[in-house]
Amino acid sequence: MIDLGLVIARLLHYAAATTLAGVSFFPLYAYADAEPIVLVRWREGVLLAGAIAALLSGLLWFVFSVASMSGTLAGVADREVLWMVLNEMSFGRVWTARLVLSIIMVGLFWNCVVSKFGSRRDLITPVLAAVLLISLAGVGHSQIEEGVEGIIHVVSDAAHLLAAGAWLGGLVPLGYILLLHRRERGRAAQRSDLNEILQRFSGMGYVAVATLIGSGLINGWFLIGNASGLFSTPYGQLLIVKLVLFAGMLALAVSNRFWIVPSLTKAQTVDPDGSTAWTARLRNHVLGEQFLGLMVLLVVSILGTMRPAIGQ
């Protein structure tokens, strides 16, 4: 019961933190010109919802972690245990800081949503979202090593989180833009905007995928150690499931990049109305990537509660 609660809290929190990161990074690379106001407004709403979700799921994660460490749910009400976790464990200190950051983000985004002016292309939002995401590297399995190894693992974990956030979270606004595109049955100006956004998103995708693979190899070396650990331990086997899901996402992304987007661009030049089938296909692929991404987060949520293969 406690284990299940912890996995669910972790999944919700990963989903909220990656969405916050990806949605706030999106305008930094996706547009050649200013972000359309309708998207600014939509993003502000998503960011507020994401920050509230991050705060609540962060609290749940803390509660279930303390319960899991003390062996019973009642441990959460034990003052001595709570005091010790908050003051003497790095988990408690990191988590206090992360909860405070979540509260600040809720306040900030609330302010954006209620104010009449669309926010400028600001840097504060993506920086806060990035800090909230990479601070997850300050707890859990990246804390196993000491000294230089510890630093390498934490930095690699942080890079992994950041790249995952940029890609998975970026799929949220991309999916919404494709949805809007269908609704408005594309005027010429919007069609060229869409092409531009797709090109820029795939550029970001290259960097994110390369970072995910590089940092994933480093983390795997720390937590698995060797190929036999990958196949012979439950941790390793579940990691294989994650790799298969990742491969599925990659296959969809590659087919978008080299098949659907070029076909879409071609269809638009030949027959402006003939491109809707390609847009629909692209939208389905993005939905598929989002689903696989959520499954990856679920696997990661379970892996974090398991014993890494390296100790077995």
Partner 1 sequence: MSKMTSMAAVTMIAASLFGSAAYAHPELKSAEPAAGAAMTTSPKQIRITFNENVIPQLSGVEVRDQTGKVISTGKAATDPANKKLLVVPLKEQLPPGDYKVEWHAVSDDTHRVKGDYSFSVAR
Q: Return residues touching partner 1 (CB under 8 A).
A: 65, 68-71, 80-81, 84, 88-91, 139-141, 143-149, 152, 156, 206-207, 210-211, 213-215, 217-218, 221-223, 225, 305, 307-308, 310-311
Q: Which is nearer to partner 1, 211 or 301 (CB)?
A: 211
In the complex, what is the shortest distance from the CB of residue 216 to partner 1, in angstroms, rounded to a whole number?
A: 9
CB of 12 to partner 1, least distance (A): 18
Q: How far is the CB of 190 from partner 1 (least distance, A)?
A: 31
HSE at residue 230, side-chain half, CA atoms within 13 A, is: 13
Give the nearest distance from C-beta 305 to partner 1 in angstroms. 8
Q: Tokens standing for 43?
A: 């993003």
Residue with Cβ nearer partner 1 (88 or 122):
88
Question: Between residues 149 and 184, which has the closer beta carbon with respect to partner 1?
Answer: 149
Cβ distance to partner 1 smaller for residue 220 or 293: 220
How far are the Cα atoms of 116, 267, 292 from residue 157, in angstroms, in the given order? 39, 41, 20
For the bound state, the minimum distance from the C-beta of residue 78 to partner 1, rounded and expressed in Å, comes to 9
If the CB atoms of residues 59 and 81 are measured against partner 1, the closer one turns out to be 81
Output 66 or 178, the one with its CB closest to partner 1.
66
| Residues 87, 91, 54: CA angle, nearest 5 degrees | 115
CB nearer to partner 1: pick between 290 and 305: 305
Q: Nearest distance from residue 155's CB to partner 1, in Å?
A: 9
Taking alpha carbons only, the member of 87, 93, 71 closest to residue 143 is: 93
Least gap, CB of 58 to partner 1 (angstroms): 14
